[in-house]
Amino acid sequence: MGTASVLSSTAGTISTGILSLMAGQPEGAVAAGIGHIAMQFFSTPVMLGCMAMLMPGLTMAFVLPMVPYVMWMAGIASWLILVCEAVVAAPLWMLAHMTLNGEGLHGNARQGYALLFDVVFRPTLMLFGLFFGYFVFDAMSWLVHQTFGVAAGFALSHGWLVSNFLGMLLLVWMFVLLHMILALASFRLIAIIPNRVPQILGFGGGERIDVDAFSRDVAAVGMAGAMQKMQDALRPNVNDHDSQNVPPAGNKQKLSGGIGHSGAIGIDTTMNKTS
């Protein structure tokens, strides 16, 4: 890494060449020049390759472990919305018992019993969905780890150097996306079980938030934020350039005085109002 950093720097390459010539080793200066040219040529492809491998790594390290949490938060939000609906609808539900329309003793109050069932039993059913989600994801991850290498080897068996290198990058992305799809499909049980069990018993589903869309939006926002942070880190520092454009203190006072004078001519702002 130290040699690569020296060769990638023009000043470091010149210093190395001068020291080699002073030591009576012209071949060292030639080697430093060739190494500098090689680093300048391969630095961009190497950086692009590193960035292409960075995003799958960030996804596996940070986004994938947060999928159960995001699904669980969406389920809790859906349950809280049900509780709010129950608080508002409870008095009207009691009045519905006074009607004699419909089949059975409860008449038109059937939907109220379905809402009460969702409010009481939905947290427990969500726990069952979380446990079974971990079980399904663990089983499918084991199956992917056992079979993905065989399928990837078959896909790369008839390629050559460049095509196999690009294929390996694509297969890494496919491996990560496959795990993301499996995670979303497995932990959907947090919402599926609380919705399907009441339907089996004759009640309607009580889902108030689309868990799939919620998890996709959270993942997209998180990845967009990570990309923005990386772009800000790679962007050159412009503080020195901005500091050179700062006017002197006297000019600042003149500018502030001019602004204050112009503000006295009946200009109202949200922070300072002058008459």
Residue 243: pLDDT band (50, 70, 90) is very low
| Higher pLDDT, residue 30 or 199 | 199
Q: Is 158 exposed, middle or buried (0-12, 13-18, 19+ CB in 10 A)?
A: exposed
Per-residue model confidence as pLDDT tens digits over 178-224 = 999 999 899 999 988 988 888 888 776 666 666 666 666 665 665 56
Name the pLDDT band for 131 (thresholds 50, 70, 90).
Answer: very high
* 44-86 confidence digits (pLDDT tens): 666 776 777 788 888 888 889 998 998 899 889 889 988 898 8
Q: Which residues contact 107 (CB under 8 A, 6 or more apart)?
A: 96, 97, 99, 100, 101
Looking at this protein, which amino acid is placed at residue 67?
V
Q: Which of the given ranges, 28-32, 133-137, 234-238, has the highest pLDDT on average?
A: 133-137
Residue 244 is predicted with a pLDDT of 45
